Amino acid sequence: MHRTVLTKADGRKLYLYWQSSPPGEPGPDRIRGRAQAGHLRWHPLLAEWVIYAPERQGRTYHPPARACPFCPGGEVPFADFEVAVFENRFPALAARPERPPTLFVATAPAAGRAEVVVYTPAHRGSLATLSPDRRRLLARVWQDRYRELLALPEVRYVFPFENRGEAVGVTLTHPHGQIYAYPYVPPLPAREAAAFREAAVLQRLWRDLEAYRVAARPGLLAFVPPFARYPYEVWVAPEEPHPGPWTFTDAELDAFADLLGEVVARLDALFDRPMPYVMAFHAAPKGVDRFHFHVEFQPRLRARDRLKYLAGTELGAGAFTVDVLPEEAAQALREVRR
């Protein structure tokens, strides 16, 4: 993998990654103007931070394909590229956030990073349709971003994710993901870290997951967790615990990238339509070694023409109600024709 780091006209960093074809000369940088990041406020009942970023209200919303900012010549001022990463123009977290207001609840600066990861210059596609080489390059990009962002003194947790489909609120359809680097450990990974401190949870499950298996590569498994909170939820995890993909070997990274592509292909084939989902990377917080990295796919279709909505019990009480048994979901995904 090769990498070039540039600075855009508005001061944001742009990272270009490639395996075979280095980028040529840049064209004009037409998209510029960084919005101000917001601040944090403490929720005293839930004991967690809430990020406020009101300038994100003005972010790009469903532009026509000809005006897509992630196509070549937009945020990436090159005629072609392989994988690109840049600081979000409308960040929730930033290196130089605004000073927080003084209130009767605790506040703090929204220090950190918010990055966009553009998988391909093609306007249409997915993790399933990328070439194997492009997926493997993308896996190395994630590995590189983890290492660089975790080295920042203000960052305590790095979170790559992908929102896919209008059903989950996506406003730009070009294949891409995001990375948030937080100045604190968010609630879910904090709870997972506590669980992994107590026991080797995923390793204990491993021997009993055959009925929940969706696909596999050497040392890696894609499976529906027996405690899934979403219909057709899929996890991808290595058999041996890793704190994050920054400790993967090249062979493990390649297998990981291939398995992600197969999972997306199976989800898309399940109802013969692109599956809207959230893909979330769950890695160790900074300084934590006892953790079992895994990726969670949370699909939003419970049937071909029915969305899974988070309703009162999920949003109001945090108690999930699932319409599809995990065993049946795993069998359906395992047997789907791709």
Q: pTM here?
A: 0.96
Angle, alpha carbons 152-36-66 (nearest 5°): 100
Set 174, 176, 242, 292: catalytic member = 176
Average of per-residue pLDDT values in the chain: 94
pLDDT(35) > 90: no
pLDDT at 320: 94
pLDDT at 61: 85
1-182 and 185-338 share one CATH topology? yes
Tens-digit pLDDT profile for residues 147-190 = 999 999 999 999 999 999 999 989 999 999 999 999 999 999 99
Yes or no: is domain 185-338 CATH 3.30.428.10? yes
pLDDT at 32: 81
CATH code linked to domain 1-182: 3.30.428.10
> Closest by alpha carbon to 283, among 292, 272, 275?
292
176 noted as active-site residue: yes
Strand partners, 204: none
pLDDT at 98: 87
Please report which confidence band the pLDDT of residue 338 belongs to, taking 50, 70 and 90 as the band edges: confident
Give domain limits for the chain. 1-182, 185-338
pLDDT(52) > 80: yes
Q: How far is CA 305 from CA 171, 272, 308, 326, in A?
A: 21, 11, 10, 19
Tens-digit pLDDT profile for residues 16-30 = 999 988 888 899 998
> Closest by alpha carbon to 92, among 60, 115, 68, 119?
115
Mean pLDDT value across residues 137-151? 98
Percent of the chain with pLDDT strictly greater than 90: 87
Q: Give dist(CA 269, CA 131) in Å, integer.
A: 18
